[in-house]
């Protein structure tokens, strides 16, 4: 049972007894997608830390860019200069070669061009994508709502490099509380609270329920197998 659907006849204490906090179990790693220009370039140091944490904990970092593949060497050098760790570098292709395979024919040619980012993310099982373009974020919201899409502008306002990992833990467990995040990552309570508050600002975590517990945002509610890992994070 989810606290979002707490029966009126059940008290919060009864709900807590029948729904203990998720157990600590191994997980498959986070698959994170990052844009470059306007995203990584907005705060290279932060995104270097994000990419490092993701890969250290069994995740993958996919760089998905609208730069020309003719400049692959220069792009790799830029990423190395920013100290970005990554597993895959994907160029979505020239703007003049709009993806005719896009199934959403009502989109204009530029939206179909940008949709290639969504198509790549879905094909490669990405769970979280950060981009600075509102059009890209809108395409994710409309055609891949299962993928958490974060605005680069909003992301750089959250200086904690663990944010994406914390989001995955909360959504996997469908359990949103600062104490839960604190326990999973062995963080201070204030830091864990700030992470939950950032998720609330993004609509990933909803408001407090009548029983005083946080809800999961409606878009992200699901029946999930608890797949949480306990990590040592300095």
The domains spanning 31-155 and 160-234 adopt the same CATH topology: no
pLDDT in tens, the chain (234 residues): 445 555 555 555 554 555 555 554 434 589 999 999 999 999 999 999 999 999 998 999 999 999 999 999 999 999 999 999 999 999 997 777 676 778 898 999 999 999 999 999 999 999 999 999 999 999 999 999 999 999 999 999 999 999 999 999 999 988 888 999 999 999 999 999 999 999 999 999 987 776 667 889 888 887 443 344 444 454
Q: To which CATH superfamily is domain 31-155 assigned?
A: HUPs (3.40.50.620)
Domain ranges for the chain, please list them.
Answer: 31-155, 160-234
How far is the C-alpha of 65 from the C-alpha of 140, rounded, in Å? 15
CA distances to 8, 53, 168, 186 from 58, rounded to whole Å, are 41, 9, 13, 18
Question: How big is the CA angle at 215 (ends 212 and 217), to the nearest 5 degrees?
Answer: 155
**All residues at 6 or more sequence positions from 124 whose CB lies less than 8 Å from its CB, including other chains:** 31, 62, 88
What is the pTM (predicted TM-score) of this model? 0.84
Which numeric CATH code is attached to 160-234? 1.10.10.10
């Amino acid at each position: 049972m989810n606290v979002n659907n707490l029966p009126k006849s059940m008290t919060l204490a009864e709900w807590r007894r029948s729904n203990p906090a998720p157990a600590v179990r191994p997980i498959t790693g986070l698959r994170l997608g990052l844009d470059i220009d306007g995203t990584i370039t907005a705060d290279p140091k932060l995104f270097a830390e994000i990419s490092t944490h993701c890969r250290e904990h069994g995740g993958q970092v996919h760089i998905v860019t609208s730069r020309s593949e003719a400049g692959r060497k220069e792009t790799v050098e830029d990423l190395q200069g920013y100290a970005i760790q990554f597993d895959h570098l994907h160029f979505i292709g020239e703007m003049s070669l709009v993806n005719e395979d896009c199934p959403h024919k009502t989109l204009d040619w530029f939206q179909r061009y940008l949709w290639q980012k969504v198509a790549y993310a879905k094909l490669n099982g990405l769970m979280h994508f950060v981009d600075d373009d509102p059009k890209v974020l809108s395409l994710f919201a409309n055609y891949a709502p299962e993928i958490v899409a974060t605005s680069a502008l909003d992301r750089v306002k959250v200086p904690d490099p663990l944010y994406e990992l914390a989001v995955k833990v909360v959504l996997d467990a469908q359990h949103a509380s600062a104490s839960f995040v604190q326990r999973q990552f062995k963080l201070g309570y204030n830091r864990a609270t700030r992470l939950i508050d950032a998720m609330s600002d993004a609509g990933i975590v909803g408001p407090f329920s009548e029983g005083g517990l946080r809800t999961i945002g409606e878009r992200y509610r699901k029946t999930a197998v608890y797949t949480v890992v306990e990590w040592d994070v300095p």
